[in-house]
Amino acid sequence: MRAVVCTDLNEVSVQDIDIPEPRAREVRIRIVAAGLCHTDLSVVRGNFDVPKPVVLGHEGCGYVDKVGPGVWEVAPGDPVVCSIIMPCHACPQCDRGAFSICDQWFEIAFSGIMPDGTTRLRRDDSDINSFFSQSSFAEYAVVPVSAVVKVRQDAPLEKLAGLACGISTGLGAAMVRAPVQPGATVAVLGAGGVGVATMIGARAKKALRVIAIDLVPTKLDHALRTGAATDAIVAGANTVEDVLRLTPGGKGVDIFYDAVGAATTIETGIAATRAGGTIVAIGIMENDLEYTVPLRGLINEKIITGTNGGSIVPRRDIPRFVDLMMAGELPFDAITDRYYDISQVAEAFDDLEQHRMTRGAFRFESSPS
């Protein structure tokens, strides 16, 4: 099968590798579409360390092709989304229902291996590392069943790839982790796919005002034009003042979502949020970023928190996001606006880096048997 393999820093190519076989409690999926996420790019650029060679991709969706022993949740032919949230159901976090911060997840996601410590991916008798136990920039992916979510038959599958990671992260931030109250004023820093999903989630929760902030004017235009945002601010030296001016009494937003996670973006959020409001870190550009927090902000009861993957419970939230999309209440299907064949991987990463898309995805027209 064809797969996108990252062999070294900034070295990405399409290779012909073996079709993987599912083991116990694993599912093989014929991939229909796989979303392009900044995290894939971060691996290629060396901002996240993952053992190489590795098949990238962690936003896959498609049809179940084969199941390993002990799988009862899905059957061949089922349309599914592969969530990055992959509960082990055996750690203290999973015990308390916090699947998005499963202890095992942090050990596995960037480790190159599946939960059993091995990889399913091979070429010429050499192992290739796995990414998020998924590696869905390939015609087939083998994924632990705990990460596989069945979705309704009538949904347009290629529009759902982002629900594996980026789009669920944004929707979950606004609807699960720090749910918007009706009538609220919120700001979202970053108008890429995750940020726009956050805005769409906030609008669905009846935010009165959704302020989009980005460096790139075309992204802001897109957020306004699609109705995801009500107001837009070009990020710059006066971002905080520009946000405050749009909030009740100039006191700050109720919730500030930081979908970028670069140096100083959380500080901007803290300054632009009212006393008692909430600042939510959604994205992270580099693993070891640090922030300075003004103690006065904490005494004023501001809450600073974050979310991994939108803090969703995949089998509870992904099907309801799809239902809301199909009902026209959550128009995230418009977020993915560029599709590529995996042979265009270099162009796709370049477009992502140069902001030529809101969200992109690889589409697999047909797969060899």
Which residues make up the interface to Zn ion (CB under 5 A)?
Answer: 37, 39, 88, 91, 94, 102, 104, 165
Q: Closest approach of Cβ 81 to Zn ion, in Å?
A: 13
Q: Is 246 left (phi over 0), alpha (psi -120 to 50) or beta?
A: alpha
Q: Closest approach of Cβ 31 to Zn ion, in Å?
A: 15
Q: Closest approach of Cβ 161 to Zn ion, in Å?
A: 10
User: Residue 13 is which amino acid?
Assistant: S
Q: Closest approach of Cβ 109 to Zn ion, in Å?
A: 10
DSSP secondary structure of 27-51: EEEEEEEEE--HHHHHHHHTSS---
Q: Closest approach of Cβ 188 to Zn ion, in Å?
A: 17
Rounded-to-integer distance, Cα 315 and Cα 244, Å: 38
Rounded-to-integer distance, Cα 298 and Cα 305, Å: 12
Q: Which is nearer to Zn ion, 159 or 274 (CB)?
A: 159
Q: Closest approach of Cβ 58 to Zn ion, in Å?
A: 5
Instruction: Give residue for tokens 């995290």.
Output: 39
Maximal CA-CA distance, the chain: 66
Q: Which is nearer to Zn ion, 55 or 91 (CB)?
A: 91
Q: Which is nearer to Zn ion, 207 or 260 (CB)?
A: 260
Rounded-to-integer distance, Cα 172 and Cα 152, Å: 20
How many beta carbons lie within 10 A of that of residue 28, not counting itself?
20
Q: Which is nearer to Zn ion, 39 or 278 (CB)?
A: 39
Helix axes 217-225, 193-204, angle to 10 degrees: 30
Q: Which is nearer to Zn ion, 134 or 273 (CB)?
A: 134
| Cβ–Cβ under 8 Å, residues 64 and 74 | yes
| Pair of tokens at residue 172 | 């979950």
